[in-house]
Amino acid sequence: MTQMTDKTIAVVKGLIMDGVAKANSGHPGGAMSSADYATILFSEFLNFNPDDPKWFNRDRFILSAGHESMLLYALLHLNGFISMDDIKNFRQLDSLTPGHPEVHLTPGVEATTGPLGQGFAMTVGFAVAEAYLREKLGSDVMDHYTYVLSSDGDLQEPIALGAASLAGLWGLGKIIAYYDSNKIQLAGPTCQADCTDHKKVFEGLCWHVIEVDGHNHDEIRAAIKAGQLETSRPTLIIGNTTMAKGCATMEGSHKTHGEPLKADEIAATKEKLGLPAEDFHVAEDVLEAYRARFDGMREKADKWQALVEEKMADIDFAAIWEQVNKPRPELSIDWPEFTPGETMATRKAWGTCLDSVMDSLPTLIGGSADLDPSNQTMNFRTTYGDFAIDGYTARNLAFGVREFPMAAIMNGIQLHGGLMPFGATFLTFSDYCRNAIRMSALQELPVLYVFTHDSFWVGEDGPTHQPIEHVSSLRLIPDLIDLRPADAQETKVCLDIAMKQEKMPSAIFLTRQGLPILDPAEYPAVQDGPRKGGYVLKDCDGTPDLILIASGSEVSLALETAKLFKRKVRVVSMPSAKLFDAQPKSYKDEVLPPEVTARAAAEAGRTDYWYKYVGLEGVVLGIDHFGASAPGKTLSDKYGFTPENFAAMIREKY
């Protein structure tokens, strides 16, 4: 065992060095220091189906230290998931081996990682999903570990500790995290930037902590086994390692972090490791030994499949299994009815919608960043309880004041599969979780971000809580659906859009202040128009003389403004610029006829974005400065968000 383990690790290190050298780009040092642990984990402990990298009850492995990607690719090659040609095409265009792992590209990659700390936080989301589904489906159907490999840089990012605090609180005993403590980062020794005693910190966060020599194979095996036996706390294995372990002359050098090894160093290192001089060498006996477990794992997966089919005879199991596996576009959701003419904040409409559908969507799980009453998730929390605190079938995730961990945990839940995550906070705090939102889009994850208090109408809380640039800024993220509904009717359509997405995340922007509920009898397009992003809400006879475009709370302002003109005015509601821009040109020209150049737009945020629709000479009512602490009505008058002022701006131009 020891001799073959050493030989396998040497082969993995050889692939790391050769892959990085051929690409002339990459990070060999950390990958080599982590190779002992990762190779033992994959070859002796990790449970997966060699014929199906997406088998539902597989152990998940997340490489939070995404820069160590060649380590993961080497192991995935030994798994049979990627070819040697893939290894040789490391970091090349259209390859399955990009610079950092990408979940939608490479079989066996569980999460897109690279932005440090987020892989660790996503791991918590994976474990949340596993714990919930284990309770709902039974431990004979859902029972796997979630492993994560982290670096010094991962744990320096505060998101990791925020997520770790929740993992400890929630008692996620199926997490086994490995911290490769090689004490080197890109700029030099970690002591230049960090003095943290991670053993004390994680013990203080209610974790089970084990410290080992990360190059001692017996200690590594014992630590993994101890982590598996600890069921009430997540486990952190601190592996004290040497950067670029095994190198001929560069062990411990920070230069190996992000630079390929030179040819002479690679040659000398291969000789030291007992490898032949040839590039990309994988010995047949290594491959045979590594895959010795495969038949047993195949048999286990087959028995699992047979068990699931047998359990389908149970009506309750079949019902939840159907929900867990149902494609999102096939969901049938009965949304509530709203009374036209009444006034309701769109955040309240969201809460009403959530209350209405939460029983029929048992896979809907989520919560608020300590803003439950404000985000209208309190009734969801009261009804279903706090996850872990009230049992693992409780569906409210009490994230606390942790927006960034919240967003990354949602990504992990979605990546695991089987659940529909949502998270809520104030729009101005979307900045805290922006990079995780970007990672939602990059990973093609249909998570739902609920952002309330979407404009200066927040009022008395003042400029710290009044978003100005946030909606426009989030619209810049590719493949993120922006949803800013005009009223309760549009809110439920926007939520239906978000819930039925397959690949794109959605951010819904909701008001604190009440808005008039539109009457579908007067405005029939409100019932389906939002699905196209922008639509004609109120039209005129023939070709309009003027087009007013608005989103969210400013749609009612546009309708009132239109009444102040005697000429023909069309009012366009645009809850989603992303969805509107994706429509065929014929439809966009139908809504915004090119020959009608007299156009004005209104949104309580940055003006810049709207010139793409009204033209550079068009009129935009917006706000390009910070707000102030005062009642919302006072601020609307001060900033000109009145029908009279909007009409005056338009008359001055047209």
Dist. CA 388–CA 371, nearest whole Å: 19
CA atoms within 13 A on the CB side of 85: 2
CA Rg value for the chain: 27
Task: Give how far Cα 139 sits from Cα of 133, 134, 144, 173, 230, Å.
Answer: 9, 5, 9, 14, 16
> Is residue 182 marked as binding?
yes
Residue 4: CB atoms within 10 Å? 16
Residue 253: which residues within 8 A CB-CB, separation 6 or more? 29, 184, 243, 244, 247
Dist. CA 91–CA 27, nearest whole Å: 11
**Encoded tokens for 349:** 């409409």
Among the listed residues 110, 130, 259, 403, the single catalytic one is 403
Amino acid sitting at position 29: G
> Is residue 465 marked as binding?
yes
Dist. CA 601–CA 587, nearest whole Å: 19
**Encoded tokens for 361:** 């969507």
> Is residue 184 marked as binding?
yes
Cα 192 off chain centre by: 31
Nearest to 443 by CA among 415, 406, 405, 482: 415
> Is residue 461 marked as binding?
yes
Dist. CA 401–CA 397, nearest whole Å: 12
> Is residue 266 marked as binding?
no
Is there a contact between 541 and 625 (Cβ–Cβ < 8 Å)? no
Residue 500: CB atoms within 10 Å? 17
> Is residue 429 marked as binding?
yes
> Is residue 416 marked as binding?
no
Cα 381 off chain centre by: 22
> Is residue 374 marked as binding?
yes
> Is residue 217 marked as binding?
no
Buried b vs exposed e over 97-134: b needs ≥16 C-beta within 10 Å? bbbbbbbeebebbbbbbbbbbbbbbbbbbbbbbbbbbb
DSSP 8-class letter at 59: P
Residue 638: CB atoms within 10 Å? 12
Residue 403 designated active-site: yes
Task: Give how far Cα 377 sits from Cα of 247, 358, 426, 585, 617, Å.
Answer: 54, 11, 13, 39, 43
> Is residue 221 marked as binding?
no
Nearest to 618 by CA among 607, 629, 604: 607
Buried b vs exposed e over 345-356: b needs ≥16 C-beta within 10 Å? bbbbbbbbbbee
DSSP H helical ranges for 80-216 = 84-88, 118-137, 152-156, 158-169, 198-204
Its sign, for the CA torsion 414, 416, 419, 422, is negative
> Is residue 386 marked as binding?
no
> Is residue 564 marked as binding?
no
Is there a contact between 375 and 364 (Cβ–Cβ < 8 Å)? no
> Is residue 120 marked as binding?
no
> Is residue 506 marked as binding?
no
Is there a contact between 166 and 405 (Cβ–Cβ < 8 Å)? yes
> Is residue 67 marked as binding?
yes
DSSP 8-class letter at 367: E
Is there a contact between 40 and 12 (Cβ–Cβ < 8 Å)? no
The annotated binding site for thiamine diphosphate is made up of: 67, 114-116, 153, 182, 257, 429
- Return binding residues: 27, 67, 114-116, 152-153, 182, 184, 257, 347, 374, 429, 453, 461, 465, 512
Sequence ranges of the binding site for Mg(2+): 152, 182, 184
Q: Which residues are catalytic?
A: 403
Q: Which residues are annotated as a binding site for substrate?
A: 27, 257, 347, 374, 453, 461, 465, 512
